[in-house]
Amino acid sequence: MDMSIFREYDIRGIFEENLTKQSVFGIGALLGQRILSAGECAVAIGYDARTHSPILYEWLKDGFMASGVEVYFMGMIPTPVAYFATFHEIDSGVSAIKSSVMITGSHNPPQYNGFKITISQKPFYGEQIKALGVELAGLLEQGKLAYTASSVQAKPLNALEAYQDFLVAHFKKLEGFPYEVVFDYGNGVGAIGLESVLARLGIKHVSLYETPDGTFPNHHPDPSEEKNLADVKATMKERKIPIGIAFDGDADRVALMSENHNYKGDEMAILFARDMAKSIARPIVIGEVKCSQVMYDEINAIGQAVMYKTGHSNLKTKLKELNAHLAAEMSGHLFFHDRYFGYDDALYAGLRALELFVDSTPAQIESAINALPKLYSTDEEKIATTEEKKFTQITALKSALVNPPSSFPHIREIIDIDGVRVVFDEGWALVRASNTTPVLVTRFEATSQEALARYKDQVLSLLQSLN
């Protein structure tokens, strides 16, 4: 049993290498037990465009049915539709199904796949996933879990149509939207959810790579990587279209562009918070440890900003705990709890972004961002390591920062809610262990290029000296 598939936020691995028929069946069977223990009796399952998703569905379905859980099948859908299904009675005569599994490899390469899990409307993650992995490994080792094919068919659940009807009703304000928009779906499943909504709202648009194709023949479906936005930017320039939006493979992350700017997740959070402040007294917004200090300062001026751990499951949980209005990740995960249900939905977020342009022109939105205090920052930079070493490296760095070298910049504060965010006099540095890949993630920000270079050099040198 390859325990590396049991990640912090989901279960993810390589088809037929560590996502095998036996292991996937076992995952379904054990998740079924947990759903029954939560007082539920049914699960809704959907999948993305990857070529092996239908096979994984059959294996997973049989596992759930072996546990006695009733299975409803949603077909090929965007990930947010699987979340949406747990908050709505979709079909008449079907009581609310509060648990779901989305079969998706998100933005990983084509050979990857996995499971994003919701039980009783809450993310199933962290220690819950790890405990499931340990239990499954024990059962397989003891030979106590035999694959059993079920002759019972899953029941269909038309969650996609209900989701689309909701979006059309929710975004009536966008009827007659004054600008044309470029949408890049990256051959993921976003178009399945959004194209009919755009047509029904009458939003003029150009679609790129809207046909789902799990081999991703045009570009990798990760909009947080600048190189993957080249086609949408070229189309905007060539056709003089002022707004561009791109999605990842399963449509839970979004990128927003206008003519002269690519909006990061923390910049979108500022824009959305300011918009919310028109109707909400002091909105509460949660950011992750990679977000700019500018975001925290600007949101604290009109509401309350909270720094928390990276990760969609972490932020969904914290959002509900604080009853906050919005949470945001740099990578484009946006979680609206204002007017919505508090999970990351890139299609919904894209339409919320268009609402910003109803009352303000693209140039005015750009000006609002350009008027923010100027800081210099690096992109997310990754340092290769191993699954075994990455967390011990963070522990060693924390210890070294207690008594750093005499030449080290003055430390004002150390924030250790997720890795180490070191606050200096003129900026900050972040080093954290990725919860999904064997890398350390770094980011640096400062008031000048000189300070940025100094902080980066000093922190990376200290980290290297610990190896």
399 catalytic per annotation: no
Other CB atoms within 10 A of residue 311 CB:
24
> DSSP letters of 421-456?
EEEETTEEEEEEE-SSSSEEEEEEEESSHHHHHHHH
Taking Cα atoms as reference points, which of 436, 455, 434 lies closest to residue 444? 455
| Cα(446)–Cα(214) distance, integer angstroms | 40
| Cα(145)–Cα(20) distance, integer angstroms | 13
150 catalytic per annotation: no
| Cα(106)–Cα(186) distance, integer angstroms | 12
| Cα(254)–Cα(190) distance, integer angstroms | 10
12 catalytic per annotation: yes
Catalytic residue from among 23, 99, 106, 313:
106
Catalytic residue from among 7, 34, 333, 337:
333
| Cα(215)–Cα(49) distance, integer angstroms | 9
Residue with tokens 């933005």: 107
Q: Determine contact, residues 329/288, Cβ cutoff 8 Å.
A: yes
| Cα(360)–Cα(355) distance, integer angstroms | 9
Q: Determine contact, residues 50/214, Cβ cutoff 8 Å.
A: yes
| Cα(328)–Cα(269) distance, integer angstroms | 6
Q: What is the DSSP letter of 261?
A: E
SS3 assignment, position 277: coil
Measured N-to-C along each axis, helices 362-370 and 265-276 cross at an angle, to the nearest 10 degrees, of 110
Six token digits for residue 92: 């008449």
Active site residues: 12, 106, 333
